Amino acid sequence: MMIETRGLHRHFRLPGGEVPAVDGIDLEIRHGEFVAIMGPSGSGKSTLLYVLGAMDSPTAGWISVAGQRLDRMTDHQRSRFRNTTLGFVFQSFHLLPRLNLVRNVELPLLYAGSPGAVRRARAGRLLGAVGLPEHAERFPTELSGGQAQRVAIARALVNRPQVLLADEPTGNLDSRTGLEVMAIFQALNRGGMTVLMVTHDEHMARHAGRILRLRDGRLVGDETVDRPVQAALPAGFDLAGLDLEAGGTAAGAGSPGGPDGRADGRGDGWAAPDGPAPVPGKGGLPGEGTPAEDRGSGDRPGDGTRAGDGTRAGDRPPGEHVGTGPRQGGGRTEGGRS
């Protein structure tokens, strides 16, 4: 099982009491599934995604992703796990405007400690694979929305993740470009990648093989899509060029850890991969570090969307964040859920 939860809760503390953004969810997602998460605003979709993506920790219950117990990890361990095992795509792209596209795409490799030449070569190959080989030295402000999202997808895939998590990835795109993103996700899924996507759009959701429906933090529907809508890949996209065969470099990733954590039965939930650790709590990509030249810019994603940025995640009001960067998916949402 790629993702498994039991009795998963995520509550936010408010002066008037606790808001149950995720309220007792039991979930199983198999390796290689493409799953859409739907629900009205405030249903807990994005909160669930952040907990599944190790960007936040649950209030109660347990969660296993790629055989690793996320609920037993420290902030630092979650940062390492995100970098080695998960890829993230967001509605607002969250590209760093002062870095060219190659440097944006190579950031997860930087945090993983890869040599500069290896980072640049890998980032260049991925930009070519998503159809943007001639844009490597351009900056995010020079791109269309569709091009920016392709760069964000390349960045999400650069470390060959086992799971791709997307929060409203078509929300800032026109319908044609949104369908191109769905086609890319379908191609990745056909190649064996597990894809988990939050969306408000029923038509986009029907490109997935399964739809989970949330209301008031609870799972109220679980539908198998017998015939998912198929979308056409954008010109120039090359799945083979993404070179994802070695996906999932986290220690123990892909092994059947289950509720006891590691596959070897020790139950400590996480084993550090080789290489230098990233700097936790500094922003950049969600949960990774940020190069020194980008600290304090106020325009980077990730600041305050996770525990460890100076305020415990469970103590901050819903929809708000610590730090200066934008919260993924927008601002405050009603009732602490999104």
Q: What would the pLDDT profile of 49-97 be if each residue is shown by its tens digit? A: 999 999 999 999 999 999 999 999 999 999 999 999 999 999 999 999 9
Whether residue 190 lies inside any domain: the answer is yes
User: Among 105-119, 131-145, 318-332, which stretch is predicted with the lowest mean pLDDT?
Assistant: 318-332
Whether residue 41 lies inside any domain: the answer is yes
Mean pLDDT, residues 230-258 taken together: 67
Number of domains in the chain: 1
What Rg value do the Cα atoms of the chain yield, rounded? 18
Residue 160 CA from chain centroid, whole number: 13
Confidence of residue 184 (pLDDT cuts 50, 70, 90): very high
Whether residue 258 lies inside any domain: the answer is no
What pLDDT was estimated at residue 241?
Answer: 93
pLDDT exceeds 50 at position 194: yes
Parent domain of 315:
3-252+264-336
Instruction: Indicate the SS3 state at residue 204.
Output: helix
The whole-angstrom separation of Cα 197 and Cα 168 is 7
Mean pLDDT of the chain: 79
Which parts of 7-166 fold into alpha helices (H)? 45-52, 75-85, 101-111, 116-129, 145-157
Confidence of residue 274 (pLDDT cuts 50, 70, 90): very low
Whether residue 259 lies inside any domain: the answer is no
Confidence of residue 246 (pLDDT cuts 50, 70, 90): low
What pLDDT was estimated at residue 338?
Answer: 54
Question: Cα torsion at 72, 153, 211, 162 (round to 10°)?
Answer: -40
Whether residue 172 lies inside any domain: the answer is yes
User: Among 104-113, 129-138, 184-193, 315-324, which stretch is predicted with the lowest mean pLDDT?
Assistant: 315-324
pLDDT exceeds 90 at position 291: no
Whether residue 132 lies inside any domain: the answer is yes
Among candidate residues 98, 102, 148, 153, the one with its CA nearest the CA of residue 295: 98
Q: Which CATH number is 55's domain given?
A: 3.40.50.300
Mean pLDDT, residues 166-180 taken together: 96
Instruction: Indicate the SS3 state at residue 195.
Output: strand
CA distances from 188 to 92, 181, 191, 224, 255 (A): 21, 11, 5, 19, 21
pTM: 0.74
Whether residue 257 lies inside any domain: the answer is no
Whether residue 225 lies inside any domain: the answer is yes
